[in-house]
Amino acid sequence: MNLRRFWAVARKESLHVRRDPSSLGLALGIPMLMLLMFGYTLTLDVDHVPFVVWDQSGTSQSRALLAHFTASRYFDFRGTVENYGALEHVIDDRDASLVLVIPPEFARRLDARRPAPVQAVVDGSDSNTASIILGYTLGIISGFNQDITLAQVRRAPGAIPSPALDLRPRIWFNPDLESRNFIVPGIMAVIMGLIAALLTSLTIAREWERGTMEQLISTPVKPAELILGKLLPYLGIGMLDMVIAVLMAVFLFHVPLRGSVLLLFSVGGIFMVGTLAQGILISTLARQQLLASQVAMISTFLPAFLLSGFAFAIGNMPVAVQAITYIVPARYFVALVKGIFLRGVGIATLWPDILFLVIFALVVAGASIVFTAKKLR
Amino acid sequence: MRAEPKPSAETVVEVQNLTRRFGSFTAVAGISFAVRRGEIFGFLGPNGAGKSTTIRMLCGLLAPSSGSGRVAGFDIVREAEKIKTRIGYMSQKFSLYDELTVEENIDFYSGIYRLPKSKKIERKEWVLTMAGLRDHRHARTADLSGGWKQRLALGCAVLHEPPVLFLDEPTSGVDPNSRRQFWDLIYELSGQGVTVFVTTHYMEESEYCDRLGVIYRGELIALGTPRALKTEHMQGAVLEIECERPSDAMELVERLPEIKEAALFGKGLHAVTRDTNAAPAIQAIRAALASGGFRATKVESIVPTLEDVFVSLIEARDRAEAPQAEVRR
């Protein structure tokens, strides 16, 4: 490894980047665009659920139940229906995701201290959303039950009872359970991996296609000088992308950044080196730009999107798939970014994930150097 | 750490039974030759004959399927990377970076060849002067004309003053004037003791070489100085014929028993006799043309050109191989 040759390659490669402003624009613009799109559209939150009531009881008790729903920020009251046909209609037209049916004998049964059934008709076409709506509904119903029980007991003579269990939940790190807070750091990791591999996937293949590689391999340049020299300018672009992404996360999406900024960018750099090297390795083996860029895209985006745990919890995956996630570098980077952003933890907690990223970067960079044969086929 | 080549002598390039196969296709079939220090050695052959494959094996860019060779004292199979420190190579396709300027391309290669700082500036100015690009050092390489590109590529290939230079069809697609200038540069380098190995399919270019190897279908079919090839490899005399309607006349001439082969050449015909004594053939041709009604202005014996030699060699090879091909089928 000779420093002069390394610098010669790095300088030449950065000239290529500078001379090609449209590619540079894409390299910086695409991450911004993706972060905007995903940040605003990809939300797993369910709130302001439109709901409609068929109040067959029409009593003060039924209105009290209704008040519990309208007071909740999870539900938006969208009116009433008076018959089954209208009920079907609002669900079919997606005017409401929930119809609450309060039967005529509701008040009478309550007064008689007998269980009063209430029907909840939920649009189940999106099962995840439906179960969340059902959860909210049960929560409100149990709140209403508690109120009634307390009222009935108060009216009766004797001591004031207290409920047996009183759960006071506290959710750490993301107290409002804003899905954006964990989606934005996750998507940052996905985008950085994708862009990094795409940036470098073209570099070696382009030299093969244009014939400049034949000249280059007739010189004494060593594979390590070539690979690392090519990597350096793209590491610069990748880190610039990360700065943009972090600034957008903090100032546009208001994701709290609780941990060390230095640590965040350090692990970003390590992740970047590994993924840039992955792009170079693909480029070296493919020797064709089109093939290389497609392989780079699929081999980074899909695992990062599906297997990193950024949107879909790894614990819910089949065991075999869980095993695969261990070799996906994005898995570790997503964990690190979330850890630093939301939990504010440091290197003492995060070192195993960092260690994996270091190993990944070394192995892949090493492989791309080994596979850079200075031979024609 | 730089291993010095064995102080063996004058032979700079040497190959024995060098062979390269691509699947079932044999691109180079067991060729052997040697090139001496300071020689301009030409490799002449039609497209696809195996010229580029040979040159790539010599530069350590392509592993031979079998056979052996040494370049600048190093083994082409085991010491390919050492060879790369001692050679300059110019591939057939222009292979500098189009989007970089003239100066940036030179700077890149002087970094790759690790030229010391003082040397770097001196060599850069030499290349710019040699290529006539002093006033265009900040021009994008893509905007240069063919001749300029080719001289710049040569300059980048010899920045580190290699003792051996490999040029793969360096003048294809370049105008004749630039081609002449380019050969002046090659002579200059050769005069400084640089060994030049050059492939070409231009006949007039091969006349400039000290020695020539003729390669056809992967085999070396002749080897020698241009003069030796012309005198030793022609078994008959070459006649130049100038007459009316030469393509019709050719059919007539070809059928004469004294004539081995005839081909259109310039405005007339060239015919090769079976016998080294050309006189009977000249008489036969004059008689045949007169009776056929072709007015002949000239029928005389000439010194063969390399093209005559080349055509004759290739036809002899095709005739020798044709019966075998029939049998194989």
Residues B53-77 pLDDT 10s: 999 999 999 999 999 999 999 999 9
CB atoms within 10 A of CB A318: 8
Cα separation, B308 vs B44, in Å, equals 13
B41-52: pLDDT as tens digits: 999 998 889 999
Minimal CA–CA distance to B19: which of B74, B75, B57, B61? B57
Q: Which domains does chain A have, with CATH numbers?
A: 3-43+178-371 (no CATH), 49-155 (3.40.1710.10)
Averaged pLDDT for residues B176-200: 92
Of A215, A219, A375, the CB nearest to B91: A215
- Rg of chain B on CA atoms, in Å: 23
Return the pLDDT at A164. Answer: 59
- From A240's Cα to the closest Cα of chain B, the distance in A is 24
Q: Does the pLDDT of residue B112 top 90, yes or no?
A: yes
* C-beta atoms surrounding B325 within 10 Å: 9
Of A20, A210, A221, the CB nearest to B112: A221
Q: What is the CATH number of domain B231-328?
A: 3.30.70.920
Using alpha carbons, select from B232, B234, B257, B262 the residue that is nearest to residue B246.
B262
- Separation in Å, CA of A372 to nearest CA in chain B: 13
Question: Across the strands, what pairs with B28?
Answer: B20
What is the per-residue pLDDT for B3?
Answer: 41
B18 vs B115: CA distance, rounded Å: 34
Cα distance from A376 to chain B (closest Cα, Å)?
A: 5
Of the pLDDT bands very low, low, confident and very high (cuts 50, 70, 90), residue B329 is: very low
The whole-angstrom distance between B141's CA and the closest CA on chain A is 12
Are the Cβ atoms of A219 and B112 closer than 8 angstroms?
A: yes
pLDDT of residue A161: 59
What is the model's pLDDT at position B327? Answer: 47
B105, closest residue in chain A (CA to CA): A12
pLDDT > 90 in chain B, percent = 57
**Chain A residues with CB-CB distance to B93 below 8 A:** 211, 214
Token digits of residue B12? 């700079």
Query: Is it the case that residue B5 has pLDDT exceeding 70?
Result: no
- The three-point CA angle B248-B251-B255 to 5° equals 150
Q: Other C-beta atoms within 10 Å of B20: how many? A: 22
B99 at interface of A, judged by CB pairs closer than 8 A: yes
Q: Determine whether the interchain pair B91/A220 forms a contact, defined as Cβ–Cβ distance below 8 Å.
A: no
Residue A64: how many other CB atoms lie within 10 Å = 15
Rounded CA gap, B195 and B1, in Å?
Answer: 24
Instruction: Decide if B104 contacts A16 (C-beta within 8 A).
Output: no
Pick from A12, A15, A214: which is nearest to B91 by CB?
A214
B95 reaches A (C-beta below 8 A): yes
Only one residue has tokens 């108060």, namely A154
Chain B residues whose CB is inside 8 A of the A215 CB are: 89-91, 95-96, 156-157
Q: pLDDT of chain A along its 377 residues, tens only? A: 899 999 999 999 999 999 988 888 988 998 999 889 888 887 667 788 999 999 999 898 899 999 999 998 889 999 999 999 999 999 999 899 999 999 999 889 888 888 888 999 999 888 888 888 988 898 888 888 888 887 777 777 665 655 556 667 777 777 766 777 878 888 888 889 889 999 999 999 999 999 999 999 999 999 999 999 999 999 999 999 999 999 999 999 889 999 999 999 999 999 999 999 999 999 999 999 999 999 999 999 888 888 888 877 888 899 999 999 999 999 999 999 999 998 899 999 999 999 999 999 999 999 999 998 888 88
Residues of B in contact with A11 (CB under 8 A): 107-108, 111
A4:B61 CB<8 A: no
Q: Measure the CA–CA gap between A207 and A221, rounded to whole angstroms.
A: 14
Smallest Cβ–Cβ distance between B113 and the set A9, A16, A219 belongs to: A219
- Cα-to-chain-centroid distance, residue A207: 36
CATH number corresponding to B11-224: 3.40.50.300
Res B120: pLDDT: 95
Nearest chain B Cα distance for residue A221, angstroms = 6
- Which residue is closest to A377 within chain B, CA to CA? B62
Q: List chain B domain ranges.
A: 11-224, 231-328
Min Cα separation B224/chain A (Å): 28
ipTM of the complex: 0.84
Residues of A in contact with B161 (CB under 8 A): none
In this complex, do A376 and B94 lie within 8 Å of one another by their Cβ atoms? no
Cβ partners under 8 Å of residue B128, min gap 6: B102, B103, B106, B134, B137, B155
Rounded to the nearest angstrom, the minimum Cα separation between B89 and chain A is 7
Identify residue B164 by its one-letter amino acid code. Answer: V
* B71 and A CB contact within 8 Å: no
B61 touches A at CB < 8 Å: yes
d(CA A336, CA A347): 10
Q: Measure Cα distances from B230 to A151, B304, B306, B307 in Å.
A: 122, 6, 6, 9
- Predicted pLDDT at A159: 56
Output phi, psi for A177, to 5 deg. Answer: 50, 40
CA distances from B85 to B54, B90, B96, B221, B235 (A): 19, 14, 19, 31, 44
Q: Which residues of A touch B (CB under 8 A)?
A: 2, 4-5, 7-9, 11-12, 15-16, 19-20, 210-212, 214-221, 374-376
**CB contacts < 8 Å between A and B, how many?**
82
Antiparallel, parallel or unpaired: β B238-243 and B164-168: unpaired
SS3 B14: strand
pTM: 0.81
